[in-house]
């Protein structure tokens, strides 16, 4: 795609009018332009992106958010320009510490922050003095978003959800934003809007509240107004092509960006004006520059597969003398011995990727772009003209595989098809289609007669297939009884080797009565040349023999003269690998049966055609191993440097993102959108892009037209080279002693020092620090207001110890201690929050109701379930708190535990009773959800309802059940995501998507209740459980007197009145005693 970049390119975002001018963000910086338009004046500079400028009501100051590699924080500067001052030192990540507005008296900046929160989805409104000082949380709950003050100065109109960057268009799920008013004096909350979609960015003007809504017939985000006198809503603007972006009120005008144009709507007459803006700068982000490529080298396919290991995205030459690499959309050949790299293919505007060498080393094949589509191309390895072999009208294509004679290639695509492509110009031939999984392990026989590959058989099992190229016939080997894959032919064609998961190596869980099958794969051989009179598929697999290699997780297999090379993967944990395990490259001697490890701690490899050289990848380094001599030569990737043309790259990535969704998105009809028209509409804005963040915004808007969950955009090379944030935190709440100007510790979060992830810095042995102690200096520097503690801690970083000067009072005796900080307090605060909830439940139920909190359905959620659930099997009922659950993939695993049904008892000589099956809690259960419960986190309550396990309490969930397989990288390291799977009910109808899970009992937490310490959702769930177990014996703990009243002792320390246990009945007890007696007689 050729795009003529504009000389004064810019997307003017986040504008606000003030004093006859408009401040806005463009090309990563803040600018000022006359109200009527003209040449803009640059206000800020330096690294990072400056966004959300908001002018103080008195017109003197501009507060804004700076986002950089050093973190995100709030800064303030004079409105006429000048030096900016930093007001916060939170060092947030990504979109955090967002300036929202000012206090009516212009003394404080109000911003939205995740600072000091216990969950990544929770934010709070804070206010910080314009003169600097300790930020204070505002007296409102954490369900907050963009806000605007009423003329009375103590009421706000606001969203109770912040998703300003949510690009999901036509969204109607549980996080659809409504506008409320909240009075800080009376603590009264009132809902203003009721449209099921978007109602955002409220702007209070007199007796009217202007806002952004998509309730017109086109579902475009336009300006609407709510009249507080009449209660009626009215549409103001009627844009149809693009949504309005980031409107703001100021100086009797609402300003916004729409379709790349800055607009001003004057008030009260509501007249709309386009404001012409000219940006004159040094094109820092769009001019050509030199970049290093070592960290940009792609090691694997960019589209991930859930069924087979990703193919590598680099290759070693057949003679082992060169490596072929893809980086920044271009291909490079790099010699194993010292020498210069050579450019092979690709430009800033046309990407080349997924390279392969021909067996004779004369040609290089790769995937390129022609007229906006991916095609297979070849060119001479030593330089020459490119030759395009295909003319596909659509499709994503994986790395090609050459036939031994170099005259054809096997190529698989994103629609799970396998193609045979000839170099003679013939039309591509479809070899196979696997509707369930992709095909990525194709292998030609040495004589070129056969193409072996694996496809899905049943479920996750795979079978081997043989495709006879001359006849076009396909033969299936196996019956779907195990996963057979990774076929590899011996050089003489006598044997077909493959891997198969035929070993059953059961590893028992040390937490419950369960098993996991690990290292199930071995290597097998079929004596192919012994066949006479054609192929009998069943007879062929029956002749397979196991080779004497240890079962392992084998992810790559190659056969060379007399040897097999294979890569084994460590036992995978949910995150990372099992400690002590290694990636190992083996070489197996076919004649002697000797198996040896020739390389360790590698990530992947590419084997030369003769098997003598191996190109190994380890992190960002590549080395060539002499497989015979055992010597290693590291390649010099530091020499890979090119000049990039950012606008050309942006155009390529725009088209690539559009094409990736077209070719891989779960809905082939693109959810009913005319995808070509969508591309054309947003491509018109490409010439205006002035920075990499502009591209992310444009991609987000374009992909948002899919109206689908899990469509994300992020990252990319924006040229920011500043240091990466590494905040140091102490796990405390700070309090300012106003008379002395000193800071004392208001609270220390205890954490759990037996678990490294929950280590509390100030709860280490020997420190003797308590709440109420003063910190007078940090690293020898005196700490006095308005300097805040985090300002002094920022120079330390989480990896270095911090010296604190401690005293019992501001003028008391001093002592110094050394503390190892943490990089984040989230774990400590979350554990505290969970502990308070459990204490409440224990106290009010006399220990009869259990409580499990799940912050996600990933590694963290799995840890939480394991640590909390099994410790509470002695409870009569269970509350599973799924609120603010960010999703993952373990919902079904957890539900399997919750669905277990008791059918018997077990006992021992001492008469101890246990359930059969084990590890179950048979009592009633309830699940808590809220608007922030999303993805796999909301699949959990949906299935909970379908299984009839109990009630769901709370508010409607996010509404996103179309999942993806990870980030799909773009040319410069940015990424998009591509939803590829959906959840349907038994009638084939999509569920939850763009609606959410409806609770059985809707309960909303009100700000006033939360401020008073009442969690209505949690308390409702507890009431349901107490009612369900009223009068019932605690069956789970009838043999354990120590747990009978586990919660009673806690009541003395709680302000809330504790509930009392109901009178016990003997019904279940009699049943259990009869069962025990029967067991005793049987024994």
Q: Give 818-869 pLDDT, tens digit per residue.
A: 999 999 999 999 999 999 999 999 999 999 999 999 999 999 999 999 999 9
Residue 580, pLDDT score:
92
> What pLDDT, in 10s, does the model give residues 88-123?
999 998 899 999 999 999 999 999 999 999 999 999
Owner of token pair 């193409």? 451
How much is the average pLDDT of 695-700? 98
Domain ranges for the chain, please list them. Answer: 290-641, 645-714, 732-818, 827-960+996-1076
In the CATH hierarchy, which top-level class contains the domain 732-818?
Answer: mainly beta
Q: Is the confidence at residue 817, as pLDDT, over 80?
A: yes
pLDDT > 90? residue 439: yes
What pLDDT is recorded for position 537?
60
| CA pair distance 9, 26, nearest whole angstrom | 9
Nearest 5 degrees, angle CA 992-CA 995-CA 997? Answer: 55
Alpha-carbon gap, residue 289 to 884, rounded angstroms: 43
pLDDT-derived band at 724, boundaries 50, 70, 90: confident
4 pLDDT band (50/70/90 cuts)? low
Note whether 277 and 40 are within 8 A (CB). yes
User: What is d(CA 757, CA 781) in angstroms, rounded to the nearest whole number?
Assistant: 29
Indicate whether 1052 pLDDT > 60. no
Give the model's confidence band at 32: pLDDT under 50 very low, under 70 low, under 90 confident, else very high: very high
Q: Sort strands 108-113 and 147-149 into parallel, antiparallel or unpaired.
A: unpaired
pLDDT above 60: residue 307: no
Mean pLDDT (whole number) for 902-926: 93
How large a percentage of the chain has pLDDT more than 70?
Answer: 93
Quick one: pLDDT band at residue 530, thresholds 50, 70, 90?
A: low
Write the pLDDT tens digit of every residue in 124-175: 999 999 999 999 999 999 999 999 999 999 999 999 999 755 689 999 999 9
Q: Rounded distance, CA 1048 to CA 1061, Å?
A: 10
Query: Which range among 5-19, 294-308, 409-423, 617-631 shows the weakest confidence by mean pLDDT?
Result: 294-308
Distance CA 716, CA 710 (A): 19
DSSP label at residue 1071? H
pLDDT value, residue 1063: 34
Tell me how far apart the alpha carbons of residues 902 and 921 are, in angstroms, rounded to a whole number.
Answer: 9
Mean pLDDT, rounded, for 672-694: 97
Compute the residue count for the chain.
1083
Dump pLDDT digits (tens) for 331-388: 999 999 999 999 999 988 899 999 999 999 999 999 999 999 999 999 999 989 999 9
What pLDDT does 270 receive? 98
Distances (CA, A) of 916 to 149, 919, 1071, 1074: 60, 8, 15, 16
Tell me the pTM: 0.94
Q: In this structure, what token pair is assigned to residue 921?
A: 């809690």
Alpha-carbon gap, residue 977 to 303, rounded angstroms: 10
Q: Report helix, strand or coil for 682.
A: helix
pLDDT for res 300 = 83
pLDDT at 310 over 80: no
- How many CB atoms are located within 10 Å of the residue 946 CB? 12
> What tokens appear for 68 in the block?
């950089």
Q: Cα Rg for the chain, rounded, in angstroms?
A: 32
- pLDDT exceeds 60 at position 1051: no
Q: What is the pLDDT of residues 977-998, one digit of tens each?
A: 999 999 999 999 999 999 999 9
Whether 635 has a pLDDT exceeding 70, the answer reads yes
Least confident span in 279-288, 400-409, 454-463, 562-571: 454-463
- Joined together, the tokens standing for residue 514 give 């369960």
Cβ partners under 8 Å of residue 767, min gap 6: 817, 819
**Gap between the Cα atoms of 13 and 245, Å rounded:** 7
Query: Can you give the pLDDT at residue 210?
Result: 98
Supply the DSSP string of 522-588, one letter for each residue: EEEEEEGGG--SS--HHHHHHT-EE-S---BEEEEEEEETTEEEEEEEPPB-SSSB-TT---EEEEE
Please write the tens of the pLDDT for every residue from 234-275. Answer: 999 999 999 999 999 999 999 999 999 999 999 999 999 999
pLDDT category, 1066, cuts 50, 70, 90? very low
Q: Tokens for 613? A: 């050289």
Residue 934, SS3 per DSSP: coil
In sequence order, the β-bridge partners of residue 226 are 209, 233
Which residues partner with 1064 through β-bridges? none
Rounded to whole angstroms, the Cα distance separating 507 from 510 reads 9
Is the pLDDT reported for residue 1003 higher than 80?
yes
The pLDDT of residue 1064 is above 80: no
| pLDDT bracket for residue 1026 (50, 70, 90) | very high
C-alpha pair distances (Å), 35 with each of 39, 203, 267, 277, 435 = 11, 19, 13, 10, 58
Query: Is residue 455 exposed (0-12), middle (13-18) or buried (19+ Cβ within 10 Å)?
Result: buried
**CA dist 493 to 217, 444, 472, 733, Å?**
65, 10, 19, 71
Query: What's the CATH code, domain 827-960+996-1076?
Result: 3.90.226.10
CB distance 180 to 190 below 8 Å:
yes
Mean pLDDT of 894-902: 95
Around Cβ 906, how many Cβ atoms within 10 Å? Answer: 12
What value does the mean pLDDT take over residues 895-922?
93
Strands 277-278 and 38-39: parallel
- Residues sharing a CB contact under 8 Å with residue 701, sequence separation 6 or more, in sequence order: 167, 242, 243, 682
Q: What is the mean pLDDT of residues 729-753?
A: 97
CATH homologous superfamily, domain 290-641: YVTN repeat-like/Quinoprotein amine dehydrogenase (2.130.10.10)
Tell me if residue 872 falls in helix, strand or coil.
helix
Q: Which pair of structure tokens corresponds to residue 947?
A: 């299984």
Mean pLDDT estimate for the chain: 92
Instruction: Count Cα neighbours of 35 within 13 Å in the Cβ-side half-sphere.
Output: 13
Q: What is the structure's pLDDT at 692?
A: 96
Assess if CATH 3.30.750.44 describes domain 645-714: yes
pLDDT (0 to 100) of residue 1? 53
Nearest to 601 by CA among 582, 619, 617: 582
pLDDT of amino acid 1043: 45
Q: Is the pLDDT of residue 2 over 70?
A: no
Residue 219 has pLDDT above 60, yes or no: yes
DSSP three-state, residue 1001: strand
Segment 171-209, tens digit of pLDDT: 999 999 999 999 999 999 999 999 999 999 999 999 999
* Residue 1074: band (very low, low, confident or very high) from pLDDT cuts 50, 70, 90: very low
Structure tokens at 562: 């007399």
pLDDT for the residue 1040: 52
User: Given this model, what pLDDT does residue 415 score?
Assistant: 94
Helix (H, G, I), strand (E, B) or coil at 641: strand
């Amino acid at each position: 795609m050729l795009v003529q970049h504009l000389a004064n390119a810019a997307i003017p975002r986040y504008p606000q009018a003030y004093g006859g001018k408009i401040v806005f963000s463009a090309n990563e910086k803040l600018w000022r332009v006359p109200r009527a338009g003209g040449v803009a004046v640059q206000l800020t500079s330096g690294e990072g992106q400056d966004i959300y400028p908001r002018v103080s009501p008195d017109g003197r100051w501009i507060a804004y958010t700076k986002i950089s590699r050093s973190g995100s924080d709030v800064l303030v500067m004079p409105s006429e320009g000048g030096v900016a001052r930093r007001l916060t030192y939170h060092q947030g990540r990504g979109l955090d510490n967002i300036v929202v507005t000012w206090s009516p008296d212009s003394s404080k900046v109000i911003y939205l922050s995740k600072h000091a929160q216990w969950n990544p989805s929770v934010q709070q409104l804070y206010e910080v003095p314009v003169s600097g000082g300790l930020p204070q949380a505002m007296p409102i709950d954490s369900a907050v978003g963009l806000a605007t003050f009423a003329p009375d100065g103590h009421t706000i109109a606001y969203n109770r959800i912040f998703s300003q960057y949510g690009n999901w268009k036509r969204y109607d799920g549980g996080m659809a934003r409504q506008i409320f008013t909240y009075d800080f004096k009376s603590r009264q909350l009132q809902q203003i809007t009721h449209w099921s979609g978007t109602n955002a960015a409220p702007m209070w003007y007199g007796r009217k509240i202007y806002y952004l809504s998509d309730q017109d017939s086109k579902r475009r985000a336009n300006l609407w107004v709510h009249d507080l006198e009449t209660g009626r809503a009215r549409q103001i603007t009627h844009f149809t092509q693009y949504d309005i972006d980031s409107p703001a009120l100021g100086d009797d005008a609402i300003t916004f960006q729409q379709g790349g144009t800055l607009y001003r709507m004057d008030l009260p007459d509501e007249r709309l004006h386009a404001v012409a803006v000219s940006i004159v700068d040094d094109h820092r982000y769009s001019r050509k520059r030199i970049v290093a490529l070592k960290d940009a080298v792609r090691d694997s396919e960019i589209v991930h597969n859930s069924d087979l290991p990703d193919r590598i995205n680099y290759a070693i030459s057949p003679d082992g003398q060169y490596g072929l690499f893809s980086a920044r959309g271009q291909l490079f050949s790099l010699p194993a011995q010292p020498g210069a790299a050579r450019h092979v293919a690709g430009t800033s505007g046309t990407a080349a990727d997924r390279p392969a060498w021909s067996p004779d080393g004369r040609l290089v094949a790769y995937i390129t772009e022609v007229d906006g589509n991916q095609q297979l191309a070849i060119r001479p390895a030593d330089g020459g003209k490119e030759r395009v072999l295909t003319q596909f009208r659509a499709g994503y294509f994986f790395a090609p595989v050459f036939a031994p004679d170099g005259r054809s290639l096997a190529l698989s695509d994103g629609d799970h098809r396998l193609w045979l492509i000839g170099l003679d110009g013939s039309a591509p031939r479809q070899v196979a289609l696997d509707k369930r999984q992709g095909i990525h392990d194709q292998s030609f026989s040495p004589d070129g007669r056969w193409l072996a590959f694996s496809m899905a058989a049943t479920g996750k099992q795979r079978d081997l297939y043989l495709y006879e190229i001359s006849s076009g016939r396909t033969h299936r080997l196996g019956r779907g009884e195990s996963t057979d894959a990774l076929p590899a032919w011996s050089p003489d064609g006598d044997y077909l080797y493959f891997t198969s998961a035929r070993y059953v190596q059961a590893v028992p869980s040390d937490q419950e009565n369960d098993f996991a099958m690990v290292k199930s794969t071995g290597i097998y051989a079929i004596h192919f040349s012994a066949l006479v009179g054609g192929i009998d598929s069943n007879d062929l697999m029956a002749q397979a023999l196991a080779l004497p290699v240890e079962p392992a997780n084998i992810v790559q297999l190659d056969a060379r003269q007399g040897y097999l090379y294979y890569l084994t993967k460590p036992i995978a944990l949910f995150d990372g690998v099992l400690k002590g395990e290694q990636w190992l490259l083996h070489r197996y001697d076919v004649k002697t049966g000797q198996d040896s490890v020739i390389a360790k701690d590698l990530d992947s490899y590419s084997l030369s055609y003769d098997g003598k050289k191996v190109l190994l990848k380890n992190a960002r380094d590549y080395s060539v191993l002499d497989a015979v001599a055992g010597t290693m030569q590291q390649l010099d990737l530091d020499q890979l440097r090119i000049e990039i043309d950012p606008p050309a790259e942006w155009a390529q990535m725009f088209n690539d993102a559009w094409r990736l969704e077209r070719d891989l998105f779960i809905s082939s009809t693109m959810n009913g959108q005319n995808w070509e028209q969508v591309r054309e509409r947003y491509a018109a804005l490409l010439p205006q892009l002035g920075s990499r963040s502009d591209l992310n915004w444009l991609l987000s808007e374009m992909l948002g037209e899919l109206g689908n969950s899990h469509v994300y955009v992020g990252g990319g090379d924006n040229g920011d080279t500043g240091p990466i944030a590494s905040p140091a935190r102490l796990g405390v709440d700070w309090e300012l002693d106003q008379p002395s100007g000193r800071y004392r510790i208001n609270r220390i979060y205890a954490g759990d020092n037996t678990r490294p992830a929950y280590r509390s810095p100030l709860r280490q042995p020997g420190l003797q620090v308590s709440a109420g102690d003063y910190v007078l200096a940090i690293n020898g520097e005196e700490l006095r207001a308005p300097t805040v503690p985090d300002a002094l801690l920022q120079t330390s970083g989480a990896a270095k110890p911090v010296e604190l000067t401690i005293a019992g009072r501001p003028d008391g005796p001093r002592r110094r201690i050394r503390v190892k900080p943490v990089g984040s307090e989230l774990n400590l605060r979350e554990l505290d929050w969970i502990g308070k909830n459990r204490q409440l439940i224990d106290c009010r139920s006399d220990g009869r109701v259990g409580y499990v909190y799940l912050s996600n359905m990933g590694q963290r959620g799995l840890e939480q379930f394991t640590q909390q659930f099994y410790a509470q099997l002695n409870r009569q009922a269970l509350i599973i708190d799924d609120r603010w659950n960010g999703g993952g993939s373990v919902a079904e695993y957890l539900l399997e535990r919750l669905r277990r049904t008791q059918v018997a008892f077990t006992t021992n000589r001492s008469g101890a009773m246990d359930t059969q099956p084990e590890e179950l809690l048979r009592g009633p259960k309830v699940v808590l959800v809220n608007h922030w419960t999303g993805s796999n986190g909301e699949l959990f309550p949906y299935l909970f309802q379908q299984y009839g396990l109990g009630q769901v309490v709370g508010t409607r969930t996010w509404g996103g059940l179309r999942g993806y397989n990870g980030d799909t990288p773009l040319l410069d390291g940015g990424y998009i995501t591509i939803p590829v799977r959906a959840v349907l009910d038994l009638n084939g109808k999509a569920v939850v998507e763009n609606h959410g899970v409806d609770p059985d009992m809707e309960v909303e937490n009100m700000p006033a209740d939360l401020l008073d310490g009442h969690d209505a959702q949690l308390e409702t769930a507890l009431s349901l459980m107490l009612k369900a177990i009223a009068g019932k014996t605690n069956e789970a703990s009838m043999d354990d007197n120590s747990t009978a009243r586990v919660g009673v002792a806690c009541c003395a320390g709680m302000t809330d009145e504790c509930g009392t246990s109901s009178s016990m009945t003997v019904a279940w007890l009699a049943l259990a005693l009869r069962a025990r007696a029967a067991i005793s007689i049987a024994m």
